[in-house]
Amino acid sequence: MKDILKVIEYRKQQATLRDEGNELLTKAETEEREVNEDEQKRVDAIDAEIRAIDVRIDNYCSVNQISPEELRTYEPQKPETGAENAETPKPFRSLGEQLQAVREFFTGRGRDDRLFEVRAASGLNESVPSEGGFLVQQDLSAELLKQTYETNEIPNRCRRIPISGPSNSFAMNTVDESSRATGSRWGGLQVYREAEADSTTASKPKFGRIEMKLEKMMGLCYATDENLQDAAQLGAIISQGFTEEFGFKLSDEIIRGTGAGQCLGILESDALVSVAKETGQTADTVVTENILKMWKSRRGRNLVWLYNQELEDQLDLLKVDVGTGGEMARLFVPPTVPGGFATIKGAPAIAVEVASGPGDVGDIILADLSQYLLIDKGGIQTAESIHVQFLTDQQTFRFIYRVNGMPMLKSKITPYKRTDSNFYVSPFVALAAR
């Protein structure tokens, strides 16, 4: 116990030095001037002292065989006097308030019991990995995840299944169907009319299995000491940065994830139908025939077009013949109300950052994202870096979110009747490279 307490004392010394350095920097900023020569020398000396203490901590831990995990999971004993009458700590009022408490703990300045209440609620072994850290309070975590999904057009259209309890994986039986031909529907199920009874052959459905394990997605967010002093400001900054960056990363993986330690993306899935370019089609272009063939290969009721915004001027010029008199109609219809979506063939058309560049597979996709499965485990974990970027006046918060995803179909579907042996349908259709 004394060994660990000695390290905590070292950290408190570092915290005192940081406070001194921040006072010098704040003074110069308040007086609207640059740091003078003497102040700069002291700031440099403080930085050197902090680094020297880091070395002493490392050496001390090595000699006394103290692991980083022991330091992170160390919880001082509560005073016995009156402990039995202690009130249950009130929940954190905001994410910013909780992050302030995280900062105070990791810099050795104090211990907020509410951090450990949140941590214990889901079980130490399962909810807090060996890296150390604290779970974001449940209601705050739920709000963060809600924003992550609601503010991103791709994840919020996917089928999301939360994983609870001690489980770290998900498994679901599905119908293994790759063809709609008779004898293949439902993987082999077939029915007959009574008159055909003499030739009836027994049949049965074929089932497949979707299996996924949760994978960690990690995000870093930086905050200045000024931000850290204001809980409301800190909460707003972290919330916006976290939701936008995690949502972007998740969207990108849904499109092109490799499936190795991350989501399996639409473009990497065997369920993808890739529509070939037209003969002689110019590079990096989209023509009317491309759109019509993509639409012909659709399967699903919740279809949406996802496209690179650079293609919009081309899409806006696409027209289709709607009458014998040479009458033409636009394929790409602009929004009819402010804030609405454009449409192509009646389905929403949305410009997304994660679409591929013009001419590459994935620059325009037709998808029913309700056929894409996302699993996650509530309880976002956060920790503060103890290696502070001192001279930039910033501290780092790390967030970990456990999530994975993949298409629900394992392959594209052969239609019931077709004359073209290369024609397939799927909830995921993309235009091939041009």
pLDDT given at position 149: 76
* pLDDT tens-digit series, residues 328-377: 899 999 988 887 899 999 999 999 999 999 999 999 999 999 999 999 88
How confident is the model at residue 127, as a pLDDT?
35
Query: pLDDT per residue over 72-94, tens digit each?
Result: 555 444 444 444 444 555 777 77
Question: Is residue 298, in this structure, part of any structural domain at all?
Answer: yes
What tens digit of pLDDT does each residue of 149-201 get?
776 889 999 999 888 766 788 887 777 777 878 777 777 777 777 665 566 66
Taking residue 90's Cβ as centre, other Cβ atoms within 10 Å add up to 8
User: Does residue 301 belong to any structural domain of this protein?
Assistant: yes
Average pLDDT of span 216-222: 80
Counted domains in the chain = 3
- Structural domain contains residue 199: yes
pLDDT attached to residue 71 = 58
Most confident of 101-115, 214-228, 283-297: 283-297
Query: Is 13 within a domain?
Result: yes
* Both structure tokens of 10: 């070292």
Per-residue pLDDT at 67:
65
φ/ψ region of 276 (left if φ > 0, alpha if ψ in -120 to 50, else beta) reads beta
Domain that includes residue 7, residue range: 1-74
Q: Identify whether the C-beta of residue 195 lies closer than 8 Å to the C-beta of residue 383.
A: no
Asked whether 336 and 330 are in contact (CB, 8 A), the reply is no
Q: Look at residue 53 and tell me if it is in a domain.
A: yes
Report the predicted TM-score, pTM, of the whole model to 2 decimal places: 0.66
Q: Do 276 and 360 belong to one domain?
A: yes
pLDDT bin (cut points 50, 70, 90) of residue 379 is low
Domain boundary residue, one of 194, 211, 228: 211
Among candidate residues 59, 74, 89, the one where a domain is terminated:
74
pLDDT tens for residues 95-140? 777 777 777 776 667 777 777 665 444 433 333 333 345 666 666 6
Write down which residue in 36, 53, 74 finishes a domain.
74
The mean of the pLDDT values for the chain is 79
Please determine, for residue 283, whether its predicted confidence score (pLDDT) is greater than 60: yes
In a domain, residue 251? The reply is no
Residue with tokens 């001279």: 391
- Is 244 contained in some domain? no
Q: For residue 405, is it within any domain?
A: no
